[in-house]
Amino acid sequence: MLIDPQFLYRRKTALESSAAESPALVQEFVVANRLGIHARVAAQIVRVAGRFESEILITKCGIAVSGKSILDLMTLICPHGSKILISAKGPDAAEALNALAALFQAKFGEP
C-alpha cells in the first residue's frame, strides 16, 4: 500500500513519543467483518476507547494512530483481514483492551 511520506511521519512520531515510556498491554487483532474498519466501525471503536483513561494506540503495518480519534482510524485503512495491534497504557489498560477485544470478537455487530 502506498502511503504519503508525510502521513507516515506523523504516525511515527505518535508511536515514538509513547514508546519511550513504561510498557503497555498489547494484543493482536484481525479485522474480521467483511467491510473492514469503515467510518461507522471506526466510530464504534472511538466510542469504546473514549470511555477509558488509558492511552490507546492502534498499529497497522508499523503505523500507529490514536484509538480515540475517528479521523486517525478513518485514515488508517483496515480492510477485512488486516492484522492490527492495539496497545493500551494507563490505569485502566486491561479493561480497555478487554472492551475493545469484545468489539473485535463481535465483528462490530456486522457480517
Partner 1 sequence: MNDHSSLTIKGIGAAPGIAIGKAYLLERGRIHVPRYRLSGDAAVADECRRFEEAVAKAESDLEAIKKSIRSEFREHARLLEVQLMILRDPAIYDESLRYIKKERSNAELAVIKSLRKARELFSGLNDEYARSRIADVNAAGDRVIRILAGQSHANLGDIRERAIIIAHDLSPADAIQLQVGRTLGIVTEIGGSTSHTSIVARSLSIPAVVGAEAAARLISMGDILIVDGGTGTIIINPSERDLRFYYERQEELEAYVKQITRHAHLPAETRDGHRVGAEANIEVVEEVVAAKDNGAEAIGLYRTEFFFMNRVEFPDEEALYRDYRDLSELMAPCPVTIRTLDLGAEKLTSWFPRLEETNPALGLRSIRLCLHYKELFKNQLRAILRASAIAGNIRLMLPMVSGVGEIFQTKRILKEVQTELSRKRIPFDQNMPFGAMIEVPSAVAVADLLAPEVDFFSIGTNDLIQYTIGIDRSNEHVAYLYEPLHPGVLRFIKQAVDAGHEAGIPVALCGEMAGEPMYVPILLGLKIDSFSMNPVSLPRVKNLIRRSSMKECCRFANKVLRMRTAQEVNQSVRKMVMRKFPEEFRVFEPNHHGNAAVPAQQPVGTQK
Q: Which residues are catalytic?
A: 38
- Which of 69, 86, 88, 103 binds partner 1 (CB under 8 A)? It is 69
C-alpha distances out from residue 3 to 37, 61, 73, 74, Å: 18, 11, 15, 14
Nearest CB to partner 1, comparing residues 20 and 39: 39
Residue 4 binds partner 1, judged by CB under 8 A: yes
- Which of 72, 88, 97, 104 binds partner 1 (CB under 8 A)? It is 72
How many residues bind partner 1 (CB under 8 A)? The answer is 28
Residue 111 binds partner 1, judged by CB under 8 A: yes
Q: Report CA torsion sign: 58, 88, 83, 60.
A: positive
Residue 43 binds partner 1, judged by CB under 8 A: yes
Conformational region of residue 40, where left means phi above 0, alpha means psi within -120 to 50, and beta covers everything else: alpha
- Which of 24, 29, 31, 42 binds partner 1 (CB under 8 A)? It is 42
Name the maximum alpha-carbon separation found in the chain: 38
Task: Kindly give the pairing relationship between strand 55-60 and strand 63-66.
Answer: antiparallel
C-beta neighbour count of 17 within 10 angstroms: 10
**Binding residues for partner 1, per CB under 8 A?**
1-4, 6-7, 10, 34-36, 38-40, 42-43, 46-47, 66, 68-72, 74-75, 77, 110-111
